[in-house]
Structure 1
Amino acid sequence: MSHAQNPLTVEVTLVREDVALLTVEGYLDVDTATELQAHLANQLHHGRRHFLLDLSGVPFMDSSGMNIVLRVYQEVRRLPGSVHVIAPAPAVQRIFDLTGVSLTVPVSRTAEEALALVDAPVERSA
């Protein structure tokens, strides 16, 4: 996939001071994944701990895109923080399911559902 033919756009909306909604549109592949990575790094630098990734506008994602999602997930878990994927296209959901990513990274239908998971109390073992 050529970056010029399939540009990636990322719109960042601050839901709260510590929560960023990133709306991603376009092909998320080896040519475009660094664009998403740059936006995520910038938001981490500015103190965001929770990321809502709206992937409804991403018709295709390869392993480069998946690695970006996993990398930020691992990084924010140490803060502690969270990553939530919102409304992935069927092809993207299939990649998450086949690789087991959907067992690790929560997938929600809407931003509201994802935000509710951010706000849910964490159950701790006694």
Structure 2
Amino acid sequence: MPSEPDVLTVSTTVHGTDRAVVAISGQLDGDTAAVLQHQLAALTLQGRRFIVLDLALVPFMDSSGLNSVLRARSALLRHEGQLLLAAPSEPVRRLLDLTGISLATPLHDSTDLALAAFPAEEAPPRSGV
């Protein structure tokens, strides 16, 4: 009996007007990377320029998963934003270190620390009286 493909769960928590935390649960590979890629692209289109990717519940990531992370990082940089990675599992942390991604995209121990690393949110313009 063939096993079911791994399911990737992606949940988003919005913080302020331009920030979000995207928590992923499950394997991030060729079968599931498109799910993450679509979610991150939608957030960028909605004006979220600062995104934390919570990798605590990702036990495995392959090159397709890495590609999704790199594409999201590039898209956010084009919008003067930033992608930060938080709490990667040990196997994912090893992969990020081996590929050098952790040098270009700093790893944070928690989503709270990653959110705190973003620049201060700009206040909306005040209307003149």
Give the alignment's TM-score, normalised by structure 2.
0.87
What is the aligned partner in structure 1 of residue 109 from structure 2?
109
Q: Is the 8 A contact 1:3 1:32 kept in 2?
A: no
Q: Which runs of 4+ in 1 moved over 2 A?
A: 2-5
Partner residue of 2:55? Answer: 55
Q: Is the 8 A contact 2:5 2:31 kept in 1?
A: no
Q: Which residue of 2 aligns with 1:78?
A: 78
Report the Cα distance in structure 2 between the residues aligned to 1:87 and 1:24, rounded to whole angstroms. 11
What is the aligned-residue RMSD (CA, Å)? 1.5
Where does structure 1 lack aligned partners over 5 or more consecutive residues? Answer: 121-126
What secondary structure, in the 3-state scheme, does the structure 2 residue paired with 1:80 have? coil
Q: Distance in 1 between matches of 2:37 and 2:60?
A: 17
The SS at the match of 2:42 is helix
Q: What displacement does 1:3 show?
A: 9.0
The Cα shift of 1:5 comes to 3.5
Identity %: 43
Unaligned runs of 5+ in 2: 121-129
Task: Quote the residue 1:15 is aligned against.
Answer: 15
Give the distance between the partners of 1:95 and 1:112, measured in 2 at CA.
Answer: 23
Residue type matched to 1:65 in 2? G
The separation in 2 between residues aligned to 1:109 and 1:11, in whole angstroms, is: 19
Q: Which amino acid aligns with 2:116?
A: A
Q: Indicate the residue corresponding to 2:34 in structure 1.
A: 34
Q: How many Å separate the matches in 2 of 1:38 and 1:4? A: 22
